[in-house]
Amino acid sequence: MSSEFDLSHPPFDLLSPEEQRKLVSRLDIGYFGDGETILDAGQEAESVYVVLKGAVAELDPKVKESDPDGGVIREYAHEDLFGAIAIINGSSRYTFRALEETISWQLPKEVFLELLEANEAFAAYFQNTLAEKARLLEQRRSEKLGGGDMSSFMLAMVKDSVLREAVVLPSGTTILEATRTMREQHADCLLVQKGDQYGMVTRTDLLEGVVLQDMGLDGDICDLASYNLLTVESDDFLFNALVLMTRHKIQRVVAFDDGELAGLVELTDVLSFFSSQSHVIGLQIERANNLEELAVAAKGTTELVNGLVAQGVKVRFAMDLLAALNGRIIAKAYEQLVPEEIRKKTCLLVMGSEGRGEQVLKTDQDNALIIADDLDWDECSKVMDKFTTTLLDFGYPLCPGKIMVSNPEWVMRESEWRKTLKNWTASVEGNGLMNLAIFVDGHAVAGNTSLFNKLRDDLFRALEGNEVFYSYFAMPLRRFSTPLTFFGGLKKSDAMDIKKGGIFPIVHGIRTMALQFKIKETNTFERIEALVEKRVMKRKFADDLAEALVVLSTLRLQQQLKVETGQASLGEGNMVSAVSLNKLDRDLLREALHMVKEFKSRMSHRYHLDR
Q: Report which listed range, 151-160, 401-410, 427-436, 484-493, is most confident.
A: 401-410
Q: What is the CATH number of the domain that holds 353?
A: 3.30.460.10
Both 458 and 485 in one domain: the answer is no
C-alpha span between 222 and 398 (Å, rounded): 49
Torsion sign over Cα 285, 287, 291, 293: negative
Q: Which residue, of 225, 250, 272, is where some domain finishes?
A: 272
Q: Are 470 and 607 within 8 A, CB to CB? A: yes
Q: Are 408 and 377 in contact (CB under 8 A)?
A: no
In the chain the first and final C-alpha atoms are separated, in Å, by 53
Q: Tell me: cis bond preceding 11? Omega within 30 of 0 counts.
A: yes
Whether 147 shows a pLDDT value over 50: the answer reads: no
pLDDT at 311: 65
Let me know the angle formed at the C-alpha of 256 by 253 and 260, rounded to the nearest 5 degrees.
140
pLDDT for the residue 144: 54
Residue 423 domain-assigned?
Answer: yes
Residues 88 and 175 in one domain: no
The tally of domains found in the chain comes to: 4
Question: 452 in a domain, yes or no?
Answer: yes
CATH number at residue 566: 1.20.120
b or e along 579-588 (b: 16 or more beta carbons within 10 Å of the residue's beta carbon)? eebebbbbbb
Q: How many Cα atoms sit within 13 Å of 288 on the Cβ side?
A: 24
What distance in Å separates the CA atoms of residue 49 and residue 30, rounded to the nearest whole number? Answer: 9
Q: Is residue 137 part of a domain?
A: no
Residue 283, in any domain of the structure:
yes
pLDDT at 108: 96
Q: Which residue has the higher pLDDT, 60 or 459?
A: 459
pLDDT of residue 609 exceeding 70, the answer is yes
* Cα atoms in the 13 Å half-sphere on the side-chain side of 240: 16
State the pLDDT at residue 487. Answer: 54
User: How does DSSP assign 551-595, residue by residue?
Assistant: HHHHHHHHHHHHHHTTSS-TT-TTEE-STTS-HHHHHHHHHHHHH
Which of 248, 306, 309 is closest to 282 using CA atoms? 248
Is residue 150 in a domain? no
Question: Which of 74-83, 262-271, 375-384, 601-610 shows the highest mean pLDDT?
Answer: 375-384
Q: In 212-314, where does DSSP find H-type helix?
A: 238-248, 267-275, 282-287, 291-298, 301-310
How confident is the model over 560-587, as a mean pLDDT?
Answer: 82
Examine the pLDDT at 363 and tell me if it is beyond 80: no
What percent of the chain clears pLDDT 90, i.e. is strictly above it? Answer: 52
Answer left, alpha or beta for residue 140, where phi above 0 means left and psi between -120 and 50 means alpha.
Answer: alpha
Same domain, 239 and 295: no
**Same domain as 28, residue 6:** yes
| Residue after which a domain boundary falls, among 437, 463, 489 | 463
Least confident of 168-177, 181-190, 519-528: 181-190
Instruction: Report DSSP letters for 28-56, one per residue.
Output: EEEEE-TT-EEE-TTPPP-EEEEEEES-E
Is 311 in a helix, a strand, or coil?
A: coil
pLDDT over 90 (residue 439): yes
Give the CATH number, domain containing residue 36. 2.60.120.10
327, 350 Cβ separation under 8 angstroms? yes
- The answer as to whether 46 is a domain residue is yes
Give the span between the Cα atoms of 290 and 333, in whole angstroms: 9
Region of 118 please: left (phi>0), alpha (psi -120 to 50) or beta. alpha
Burial profile 194-217: b = 16 or more Cβ within 10 angstroms, e = fewer = eeeebbbbbeebbeebbeeeebee
Give the integer Cα–Cα distance in Å for 545 and 537: 10
Is residue 121 scored above 50 in pLDDT? yes
The reply to whether 306 and 405 lie within a common domain is: yes
**Same-domain status, 267 and 282:** no
For 83-106, the pLDDT digits (tens) are 999 999 999 999 999 999 999 999
| Mean pLDDT within 445-455 | 95
Q: What percent of the chain has pLDDT over 70?
A: 90
Is 142 part of a structural domain of the chain? no
Is 416's pLDDT higher than 70?
yes
pLDDT of residue 183: 85
Q: What is the model's pLDDT at position 143? A: 57
**Residue 434: alpha-carbon gap to chain centroid:** 22
Q: Which pLDDT does position 137 carry in this prediction?
A: 65
Give Dmax over CA atoms of the chain in angstroms: 92
Asked whether residue 106 falls in the same domain as residue 201, the answer is: no
Range of the domain at 396: 277-463
In a domain, 20, yes or no: yes
The verdict on 483 and 588 lying in the same domain is: yes
Closest CA to 384 of 445, 429, 350, 334: 334
- Cα–Cα distance between 247 and 270 in angstroms, integer? 14
What confidence category does residue 206 fall into, taking pLDDT thresholds of 50, 70 and 90?
Answer: confident
Q: How many CA atoms lie within 13 A of 205 on its CB side?
A: 23
Give this prediction's pTM: 0.75
My answer on whether 372 and 497 are in the same domain is: no
CB-count burial class (<10 Å; 0-12, 13-18, 19+) for 88? middle
Per-residue pLDDT, 402: 94
Q: What pLDDT is recorded for position 287?
A: 74
Residue 492 buriedness (CB in 10 A; 0-12 / 13-18 / 19+): exposed
Best mean pLDDT range from 129-138, 253-262, 501-510: 501-510
239 Cβ contact partners less than 8 Å away, ≥ 6 residues apart: 153, 154, 156, 317, 320, 321
511 and 451, same domain (yes or no): no
Angle between helices 380-394 and 315-337 (to 10 degrees): 140
pLDDT at 220 over 80: yes
Rounded to whole angstroms, the Cα distance separating 262 from 264 reads 7
Domain end residue (candidates: 403, 430, 463): 463
Identify the top-confidence range among 73-77, 134-138, 224-228, 333-337: 333-337
pLDDT at 56 over 80: yes
Domain harbouring 268, CATH code: 3.10.580.10
Contact 272, 189 (CB under 8 A): no
Residue 74 sits in the same domain as residue 176? no
Work out the mean pLDDT of the chain and round it to a whole number. Answer: 86
Residues 263 and 295 in one domain: no
